Amino acid sequence: MAATGASGTNAVRYGTVRDNVLNLEVVLPGGELLHTAGQGRHFRKSAAGYNLTGLFVGSEGTLGLITAATLRLHPVPEATVAATCAFPSVQAAVDTTVNILQAAVPVARIEFLDEVMIDACNRHSNLNCTVAPTLFLEFHGSKQALAEQLQRAEEITQYNGALNFSWAKEAEERNQLWAARHNAWYAALALRPGCKGYATDVCVPISRLPEILVQTKEDLQASGLTGTMVGHVGDGNFHCVLVVDPEDAEELRRAEAFAYQLGRRALALHGTCTGEHGIGLGKRKLLQEEVGAVGIEIMRQLKATLDPRGLMNPSKVL
Amino acid sequence: MAATGASGTNAVRYGTVRDNVLNLEVVLPGGELLHTAGQGRHFRKSAAGYNLTGLFVGSEGTLGLITAATLRLHPVPEATVAATCAFPSVQAAVDTTVNILQAAVPVARIEFLDEVMIDACNRHSNLNCTVAPTLFLEFHGSKQALAEQLQRAEEITQYNGALNFSWAKEAEERNQLWAARHNAWYAALALRPGCKGYATDVCVPISRLPEILVQTKEDLQASGLTGTMVGHVGDGNFHCVLVVDPEDAEELRRAEAFAYQLGRRALALHGTCTGEHGIGLGKRKLLQEEVGAVGIEIMRQLKATLDPRGLMNPSKVL
């Protein structure tokens, strides 16, 4: 996770891995052991020299091998409530997300699933959700603070024409909900047994999220591809999970073209081609568009300096 | 602020500058213009390539010249209440800080001032605070959430033997309080007209904050120096403001020795020699102790790569 700069459903409240790594132990290409913040150090903030921790988080193993990480911890919340909410349209679900964030409701999780994804989760994980664009939410805090957060969130969902708003107060029910969310990938794959998954990962400013989600939904329907939409919409980040026949070269090309077009659309909206999965091999061209020639040149110089013989995860990222 | 990786009273809730910079425009030593996250980009998270934004924040102008910054914004809170609380000892004030954070009270500001600092602020800024170790606090949220936060914080202060707990609900009273806090440097200087200020800036894990603050208070009293203590204790960060006669070389040496010893004490407690002011010239030796030989070598390589002719803020940091 640290090597990829990963995140997940809790990032909207608690930050990504990047925000929660205080120190890394890294084996450098020459064999030296680096402690990015100094050996044994763990503090909430520092202004001491260059931010080596931040440089190695998300470097995808291309600068050194991470062998230990010191993480920031957050208090376990006093109380937790989850909720699901179905909407008449993708637009209404995403407008709700933007409104909740703008109203400063300190939501702990806010996840979008389109109706194809919900249908797949219902079947794969024995849920009984309305088949419609849906938000899964979670709230953390004191009991009193939770009641207020829930009330505000529910008001916003009603304002946006929600079809229902259903609480999951018991731990068992909550766990079932989040297990279903975390198994969404496998639920999508089960739509076409024997086929392979292909995930996109764009992230845009929250204000641009409604337009890209609505447009992407239309593109996905027009593409003829089998695919679901699911995402950490509180961060402006979402995935299309395309389910592709690996024997069908034409379909695979169509999936790649769809993913590339989506990446370029995110870039046009001031976004990034990858919110949490990284560049790897597949997004090297999009990275060039994203950061520009000067940015790529600086990244190449950093790579050449720290790994002059090109030993670490060769040809990834750059 | 971006060049120094600075922060301030709000960092405990909203993060430092590092957490709130989304993109930087930087003029590189060769004259090229770098947009660290790509031109015009602003998103809450990304996993696209090396984190150039994080590398330039806090680089103290030694890698390039920052000419524009894209910042993350936070919603203005619905309601705000400040409070002051005097304690019978430094230990009690700092224990309260640790307890409030551990209880997950989402405090927006929590600042410590020792009795010398409070006395100086009373005189310089016309405050009327009890002359004792004191916390200045601020809470942000909905009215209902505020009431609960205040109640929990007050209970914790009482548990730690607070002498009083006084709310400042009106904006005018709050502004006076924070103006006094922000003028603390000048209040300290006014203790010895004609003398100069000399600030320390260590930061340690919150769990080690009580012992270093109590020890430093004793050291300060034993040193014979004129000095106050003030700090962003919610981050584990505090300053001694020493007021030194610039004509007295022996006193200046004593102040430097005190500051160096404090830096080493923070390092021994897994902390950093600088929470928010940076290394500059004065802390280069402490930086070496803090990050170790391998860390310093990597920093030197980064500097040599990005500024091969050593044009940018020469001899600072390294």
Show the tokens assigned to B81. Answer: 């209440």
In chain B, residues with a C-beta closer than 8 Å to the C-beta of A19 are 19
Select the residue of A41, A276, A318 nearest B47 (Cβ to Cβ).
Answer: A276
ipTM score over 0.85, yes or no: yes
Residue A12: pLDDT band with limits 50, 70, 90: very high
Q: 């999936």: which residue's tokens?
A: A255
Q: Do A270 and B43 touch (CB under 8 A)?
A: yes
Q: Is A275 left (phi over 0), alpha (psi -120 to 50) or beta?
A: alpha
Compute, in degrees rounded to 10, the torsion defined by CA atoms A277, A279, A283, A289: 110
Q: Is the pLDDT of residue B147 over 90?
A: yes
Which ranges in chain B are annotated with CATH 3.40.462.40?
A: 79-269
Say which residues have a Cβ less than 8 Å from residue B206's Cβ, sequence separation at least 6.
Answer: A44, B97, B98, B101, B236
The mean pLDDT of B234-259, rounded to a whole number, is 97
In chain B, residues with a C-beta closer than 8 Å to the C-beta of A77 are 104
Spell A80-113 as b/e; 16+ CB within 10 A means b. Answer: bbbbbbbbeebbbbbbbbbbbbeebbbbbbbbbb
Tell me the pLDDT tens digit for each residue of B206-235.
999 999 999 999 999 999 999 999 999 999
Residue A316: pLDDT band with limits 50, 70, 90: very high
Q: Which numeric CATH code is attached to A79-269? A: 3.40.462.40
In chain B, residues with a C-beta closer than 8 Å to the C-beta of A295 are 34-36, 38, 49, 52
- To the nearest whole Å, the CA of A32 is away from the closest chain B CA by 7
Restricting to B residues 9-68, those with a Cβ less than 8 Å away from any Cβ of A are 11, 16, 18-19, 28, 32-52, 54-55, 57-59, 63
Tell me the pLDDT tens digit for each residue of A70-96.
999 999 999 999 999 999 999 999 999
Structural Rg of chain A based on CA atoms: 21
CATH class of domain segment(s) B2-74: alpha beta
Check CB contact of A107 with chain B, cutoff 8 Å: no
Q: What's the whole-model pTM score?
A: 0.96
Predicted local confidence at residue B169, as pLDDT: 82
In chain B, residues with a C-beta closer than 8 Å to the C-beta of A42 are 205, 270
How many contacts (CB atoms, under 8 Å) link A and B? Answer: 261
In chain B, residues with a C-beta closer than 8 Å to the C-beta of A16 are 45
Chain B interface test: which of A16, A19, A44 (most B C-beta within 10 Å): A44
Which ranges in chain B are annotated with CATH 3.30.465.10?
A: 2-74
Q: 């940015």: which residue's tokens?
A: A295
Predicted local confidence at residue A196, as pLDDT: 97
